[in-house]
Structure 1
Amino acid sequence: MHNKHLLIVFFLLLANTSFAQTWDFLKADTTDANKTYPRQIFGQTKVHFGGHFSTGVDGLEEVERNYFSALELRVGWKGYGRKKWHKLFGYPNYGLGLYQATFFPEANILGSPSAVYGFFNAPFRRYKKWSLMYDLGVGLAYDFFGYDPKNNPDQTAIGSEFNVYFTVSVEGEFKISPRIDGTLGLLFTHFSNGRTRTPNKGVNLYGLNAGIKYNFNTYIPKKGSQFVEKKKDPRLKYIDHTFDEFKPFWEYYAFVAGGWNTSPYDIEDRDLYYGVATIGLDVARHYSYKGKYGIGIDVFRDGSLVEEYKSDYPNGVPNSKLWYAGIHFSHELLIHRITLVTQVGVPFAYVKGRGGWYARVGGRYDFTRKMFAHVALKTPGGFIADFVEWGIGFRMYGKNKDPRM
Structure 2
Amino acid sequence: MHTIHTERKTEMEKRYFSIAEVQQHTTIDSCWIVHDRRVYDVSTFIQRHPGGEQMIVQRAGRDVSRDMAGPPHRHSSNAQRWLQQYYIGELRQDGDQEEEEEEEEFAQKKQAVRERSRANRESNSVMDARCKSVDPDNDLVDWNKPLLWQVGHLRENYDEWVHQPVDRPIRLFYSDFVEACSKTAWYIVPLVWTPIVIFFSWYSYTELAQGNTRLFASIATEYFIPVHKYCFPFLFLLGMFLWSLVEYLIHRYLFHMKPPASNYYLITLHFMLHGQHHKSPFDGSRLVFPPVPASLVVVLFFAAFHLLAPGAVGMSIFVGGLCGYVVYDMIHYYLHYGSPKKGSYLYGLKAYHVKHHFEHQRLGFGITSRFWDYPFHTVIPEETFEKNH
Q: Per the shorter chain, which TM-score range?
A: under 0.3
Structure with more strand by fraction? 1
Larger Rg: 2
Greater fraction helix = 2
TM-score, normalised to structure 2, is 0.22
Q: What TM-score do the two structures reach when normalised by structure 1? A: 0.21
